[in-house]
Amino acid sequence: MEERLQDLQRRALAELARLDGAGPLEDWRITFLGKKGELAEVLRGMGALPADRRPAVGMVANRVRDALEAGYAAQRELAARAADEARERAEAVDVTLPGRRNPPGAEHPLQRVIRRLEDIFVGLGFTVADGPEVELDHYNFTALNFPPEHPARDMQDTFFLTGDLLLRTHTSPVQARTLERSAPNSPLRIIVPGRVYRRDDDDATHSHAFTQCEGLVVGRGVRMSDLKGTLLAFARAMYGGDQQVRLRPSFFPFTEPSAELDVRCIHCGGAGCATCKQTGWIEILGCGMVHPNVLRMNGYDPAQVSGFAFGMGVERIAMLLYRVEDIRDFYVNDLRFLRQFAGVVL
């Protein structure tokens, strides 16, 4: 009996070593390990053995079964791996071929600047306001301390629809509208990005339509130093952490004192270049402390609160940041120009 088992093991393993492929392997299993296979056949003869012989023969039989099963498992593993490898070889591709693309569009550069401005000022506790582009003379001028026929109105050539309706020349009317709408003397921190119009012929540096971003802060005890600090924070967020700012006296009817804000030239870092006309500084916005007349005319009490305002040209910021040389590029919408902005994080 033991010899039959040993012989079975020898034959089976020898045959297993010669097998190739998954089909013959299964046939082998049925032949030797199946319910009606050779091992079962031999074991069926166990009943004929005397009882004292059965444990020893049983142990041999179990060893043979384990050997056959282990051989089978190992062979199956090999066969499976070979099949996988064959499939992988068949399915391999040229990984250097171009992928199936669906590239994103690019945010318009002016929108990109506005989004960055919004993010910077929202971080400083501001909200974002807007207002109409067709404005009343009152909000565009009078409520901002430009009395009728004041020479300061000449600073802004204006498109009129009627004697009283015009295309806003700046985003500042939203200052007046927001003050007027708010509870008297309640604190305000807003920025107002938006389109404005000037009656200028279009050329490389002038556009009849362009974009401004206004800022207004009103509250108790707001100081000109807060203006400087806020704009310093803005300049650092926009142009880099080591930026410096400088205020220079200026004039706007709706602020007093008024100033222009310069930042260190972002191209030469202050050493002097063509962009900054060798001064090392670049003017980026006008600002000042809200004129008491503006507070008063719009329902706030200048004895109780003070504030500051600033206004910047979005095109100017974009032109400096991205070295755009012609303001009209922003409105021609040449896809070769616009597409370039898909590839930049800031």
Partner 1 sequence: MKITWNWLAEYVDLSGLTPEQTASDLTNAGIPVEWMERLGPSLPGVVVGRVLSVAAHPDADRLRVCTVDVGAASPLAIVCGAANVAAGQKVPVACDGAVLPGGAITRSKLRGVVSEGMVCSAAEIGLNTKLLPKEQTSGILVLQDDARVGEPVAAYLGFDDVVLELELTPNRGDCLSLRGVAYEVAALYGRAVRMPDDAQSPRLRAGEFPLSVRIDTDLCQGYAAQVVAGVVPGPAPIWMQMRLLAVGVRPTGNIVDITNYVMYEWGQPLHAFDYDAIADGGIVVRQARDDEEVATLDGQTRRLWPDVTLIADGRKALGLAGVMGGRDSEVTGATRTVVIESARFDPLQTRKTGKALQLRSEAEQRFERGVDPAVVKPALARAVALLERHAAGRAGAPVFAGALPDADETAVEVVVSPAAIGGLLGYEVTAQELTMVCGRLGFAVRADGAPGGDRLRVSVPSRRADVAAQEDVAEEFARLAGYDRIPATLMEGELTAGGLTPRQHLQRSLRHFLLSRGLQEVWTYTLTSHAQLEKAAIVEGHPLRQAAALDNPLSEERAVLRTTMLPSLLEVAQYNANRRAPDIRIFELGAVFYPLRLPVEEQPGEARMLAGLLSGRADAGGWQGAARAFDFFDVSGMVEDILDCAGVSRRAVEAAPDTSPYFQPGQAAMFTIGGLQIALFGQVRTTVAERFDLHRAYYFEVDFDALDSLARTRLHVQRLPRHPASERDLALVVADAVTAQQLLSAVRKAAGPLLADVRVFDVFSGGATGDGRRSIGLRLVFQADDRTLTDDEINGSVAAALAGAARDVGAELRAQ
- Interface with Zn ion (CB under 5 A): 265, 267-268, 273, 275-276
- Whether 117 and 193 have beta carbons less than 8 Å apart is answered as yes
* Site stretch for partner 1 (CB under 8 A), options 28-36, 44-52, 107-115, 316-324: 107-115
With CB under 5 to 8 Å by kind, the binding choice for 182 among Zn ion, partner 1, none is none
Q: Within 18-37, which residues bind partner 1 (CB under 8 A)?
A: none
- Write down the residue that tokens 């998954």 correspond to: 22
Contacting residue, 13, 19, 152, 268, with partner 1 by CB under 8 A: 152
Q: Which is nearer to Zn ion, 219 or 272 (CB)?
A: 272
Q: Which is nearer to Zn ion, 143 or 285 (CB)?
A: 285
CB of 228 to partner 1, least distance (A): 5
* Site stretch for partner 1 (CB under 8 A), options 2-10, 19-27, 28-36, 183-191: 183-191
Residue 96 in contact with partner 1, rule: CB under 8 A: no
- H-assigned helices in the chain: 2-18, 22-33, 38-44, 54-91, 109-123, 137-140, 173-181, 224-239, 292-297, 314-322, 329-332, 335-338
Neighbouring residues of 67: CB distance < 8 A, sequence distance ≥ 6: 9, 13
Round to whole Å and give the CA distance between 288 and 1: 110
Q: Within 111-150, which residues bind partner 1 (CB under 8 A)?
A: 111, 115, 118, 121-128, 132-136, 148-150
Q: Which is nearer to partner 1, 8 or 222 (CB)?
A: 222
CB of 117 to partner 1, least distance (A): 12
Q: Which is nearer to partner 1, 25 or 251 (CB)?
A: 251
Residue 217 in contact with partner 1, rule: CB under 8 A: yes
With CB under 5 to 8 Å by kind, the binding choice for 328 among partner 1, Zn ion, none is none
Query: Which pairing describes strands 245-252 and 255-264: parallel, antiparallel, or unpaired?
Result: antiparallel
Q: Which two tokens stand for residue 320?
A: 């400096």
Neighbouring residues of 16: CB distance < 8 A, sequence distance ≥ 6: 25, 28, 71, 72, 75
Number of H helices, E strands in the chain: 12, 9
Residue 280 in contact with partner 1, rule: CB under 8 A: no
C-alpha distances in angstroms, 228 versus 244, 281, 289?
Answer: 10, 16, 11
Round to whole Å and give the CA distance between 67 and 9: 8
CB of 188 to partner 1, least distance (A): 7
- Phi/psi region, residue 323 (left: phi>0; alpha: psi -120 to 50; beta: rest), is left
Q: Within 242-271, which residues bind partner 1 (CB under 8 A)?
A: 245-251, 253, 256-259
- Residue 319: HSE in the Cβ half-sphere, 13 Å Cα cutoff: 20
Residue 180 in contact with partner 1, rule: CB under 8 A: no
Q: Which is nearer to Zn ion, 275 or 293 (CB)?
A: 275
Per-residue x/- track, 316-345, partner 1 (CB under 8 A): --------------xxxxxxx-xx------
Residue 294 in contact with partner 1, rule: CB under 8 A: no
With CB under 5 to 8 Å by kind, the binding choice for 321 among Zn ion, partner 1, none is none
Q: Which of helix, strand or coil describes residue 334?
A: coil
Residue 11 in contact with partner 1, rule: CB under 8 A: no
